[in-house]
Structure 1
Amino acid sequence: MTGDEAGLQRFAPEVDRPHDEIRRLQRHIDRQRRANNPGNYHPDGRAKKGCRNWVRSLRQLRAERQLAEMHRYEADVRRQAHGRDTNFLLSKARVWRDDGVSLKALQKRYGRSVSVRASS
């Protein structure tokens, strides 16, 4: 048999999460939320429990939509990459064996990388 091949490739290499931009947007949204709702926070900065009247400004809504769009686009690229990789592996494999490692175990061990590249 000459069909035995082995290879190593990065999983979903085109999926790229802009961590700095996401963190900047999240901080921006948090600052807007605190500015719009000063009565919903304790003096030490913690949110008051049971507050239901949260005001959201138009700029805050726009920033939230921008953050949601970034996450949606990343999920779409990840879904396409997983489909392409799965089709490639199935075209090469005669027998498919799963090692049985759960997604939670991978997240505990590799954290951020799994949250970006693996399914959520």
Structure 2
Amino acid sequence: MELTKNQEFAFASIASMSLISFTNGEPTESELEEIYIQIHECERLQNDIDFSLVALDECRERLEINFQDGHDAILDDIRELKLGHDESVEIMNMTLNVVKSNSEIPPEKMDTLSEICQAMNLYSDEFNFAI
């Protein structure tokens, strides 16, 4: 299926936030709340809310079935998208908000943030990972 530019952005956003929330096991309640906040605050995700919610369910399912396979597949999917630099930065900032919703940040989440940056051709030093 051919995705529109908006759907590519929505998928990458949802996939990144889902991936970071499943790092270290099931997402916390605060992570889930933050994902829904990000979905509702981002106009581009709201413009195709049905697609965004389906993408959320699909990413969650992939990660629940087998985290490592889902993790690798999601990063591969993100690499294949043709995201602009500004779009990638916006997605990383949403993903960082999910991470920051926790009081404690395991080092594995920082590693996953770096992997997502790599998948979107961003340098992790562009972001303030000092949470």
Question: TM-score if structure 1 supplies the norm length?
Answer: 0.29
Comparing both structures, which one devotes a greater share of its residues to helix?
Answer: 2
TM-score by length of structure 2 reads: 0.27
